[in-house]
Amino acid sequence: MDFVLSAEQEMLRDTARQYLDDKSASDWVRHLMETDAGFDADQWQAIAQMGWPSMHIPEEFGGAGFSIAEVNVLIEELGRRLLPSPFFATVVLGVNALLESGDRAMCERLLPSVASGELRLAVAHAERSGEWRPAAIQAAASRREGHFVLSGEKHYVIDGHTADQLLVSAVTDAGVTLFLVDPTADGVTAESVVTMDMTRKLATVKFTDVELPLDAVIGE
């Protein structure tokens, strides 16, 4: 496998490095670590204007249409400067979850706003055990007349207290199912938790009899 960067990828790396060297100094990182949100909204918009959230979103969904390799270039540079941002939760976890779901309608609904930086995502999957195996999921969504009712608790949700939308796994009659959940909906509470790595905020998100429309299901 060839791990040599192309000329285009080198240009992306150099541009990202120059920006982060200038805008992610250690005192700025420490400042963001101490905030409740853990990132700066204006800086996220500046990053969006450079096209980073859109990097591997297909052009048909408003993205730049590059590959995960270009995303990896950005991840490395973001890690080099430790910039706290919604990039990993939104672009790496959220976007990939949507693309892998094969749900074209949901991708059309969400990804253009992710690409523009308007929408931030968080994937709420792991529970108290910290395991990612489907068998470890205990959150459940039961189908009622015309809607689902979701109850359960998710732990270690990256940026779960600041995301605009949550992608939540829960057990249904069909097995483990992914749902789109509005964090402002009745019955949803998110609480930031103290972590060793303060550059990446984690949250515990609780769902108590949260009513979800049938079209909140992501994928088949």
pTM of the full predicted structure?
0.95
- Which pLDDT score is estimated for 91? 97
pLDDT at 1 over 70: no
pLDDT at 30 over 90: yes
3-state secondary structure 17-42: HHHHHHHCCHHHHHHHHCCCCCCCHH
Backbone angles phi, psi at 167, to 5 degrees: -105, 110
| pLDDT, tens digit, 9 for 90 and up, residues 35-77 | 999 999 999 999 999 999 999 999 999 999 999 999 999 999 9
- Which pLDDT score is estimated for 3? 73
Extents of the domains making up the chain = 7-115, 121-218
pLDDT at 134 over 60: yes
Reported as a pLDDT band with limits 50, 70 and 90, residue 2 is low
> CB-side exposure of 82: number of CA atoms within 13 Å?
13
Backbone angles phi, psi at 190, to 5 degrees: -130, 130
- Let me know if the fold of 7-115 is the same as that of 121-218: no
Interior/surface letters 23-55, b for 16+ CB within 10 angstroms, e for the rest: ebeeebeeebeeeeebbbeebbeebbeebbbbb
β strands within 116-164, DSSP E: 121-124, 140-144, 147-158
Question: Rounded CA gap, 62 and 66, in Å?
Answer: 12
Lowest mean pLDDT among 1-5, 21-25, 77-81, 86-90: 1-5
The CATH homologous superfamily to which domain 7-115 belongs is Acyl-CoA dehydrogenase/oxidase, N-terminal domain (1.10.540.10)
- Which pLDDT score is estimated for 220? 72
| pLDDT, tens digit, 9 for 90 and up, residues 144-195 | 989 999 999 999 999 999 999 999 999 999 999 999 999 999 999 999 999 8
SS3 (DSSP) at 83:
coil
- Which pLDDT score is estimated for 119? 98
- Mean pLDDT across the chain: 96
Q: Does domain 121-218 have CATH number 2.40.110.10?
A: yes
Mean pLDDT of 104-117: 98
